[in-house]
Amino acid sequence: MTQTEKLTWRTFVPEDFERAAVLLGRTWLSEFDGAAQRAASQIELAHYLSQTTWSLVAERAGEILGVVLLSERGQEVPEGAGWAELEVRLTRAAEKDDRLAEAVRVEMDGVREEAELEREYASEDPEGADATVKLLIVSPDAKGLGIGGRLFSAALDHLRETGARGYHLLTDDSCDFGFYEHKGLTQARRRRSRAYWPGVDPAADEFYVYVYEQRL
């Protein structure tokens, strides 16, 4: 039996939250120390889950190796209010510690900037506005297993089954958006970032956020 065959594929459940947040922090927030990474990753994940209508998790032996979250226009968000409340509670708790509050502000400033670009994109009602890939993340421990591709393909199969005209996602220069171009997505919007991104000096470097889209 191969490593891939040992994988379990299932819907995200609340009990996954802590482990998925750790994966997000390890992958995207390595510039932060342990406590700051934990606070910022939990708040960011709760934010995405508050908008999630469909999800898929790849798990092996109790370890989460990958997650994809979709937000579909006009669809019900299961437990969305609960995740939004958790985001507020976690943010208030982090604000009691200046160091944690700063880490959360830095991370969520980037999330908010991407959301602004997304609203600009969606205002013209393109086909890609029917759905958003809110999160696609794969553990560094799962390299070579094809988990990212399988998660992505499953999400697109779901969107086709529900009749979505297209979808989009937000990304930035810190990510390997070549993966999305390889999957057939095209760049629909680009904006030079005004936010501070860890490891990037906005006064000296050009750092962009993007909308990528694809018709179905």
- pTM for the whole structure: 0.93
Higher pLDDT, 175 or 154: 154
Per-residue pLDDT for 168 more than 80? yes
Which CATH number belongs to the domain containing residue 129 in this structure? 3.40.630.30
173: confidence class by pLDDT, cuts 50, 70, 90: confident
As beta bridge partners, residue 168 has 132, 213
Q: What count of Cα atoms within 13 Å lies in the side-chain half-sphere of residue 211?
A: 23
Q: What is the pLDDT of residue 1?
A: 36
Q: What is the pLDDT of residue 103?
A: 93
d(CA 192, CA 207): 6
Per-residue pLDDT for 161 more than 50? yes
Give 144-156 pLDDT, tens digit per residue.
889 999 999 999 9
d(CA 120, CA 128): 13
Q: What is the pLDDT of residue 6?
A: 85
Instruction: Provide the strand spans (E) within 61-207.
Output: 63-72, 131-138, 166-172, 186-192
d(CA 72, CA 51): 9
Give 86-116 pLDDT, tens digit per residue.
999 999 999 999 999 999 999 999 899 999 9
Q: Which domain holds residue 128?
A: 4-215
Per-residue pLDDT for 46 more than 60? yes
Tally of domains within the chain: 1
Give 60-85 pLDDT, tens digit per residue.
999 999 999 999 999 999 899 999 99
Structure-token pair, residue 31: 């510039």
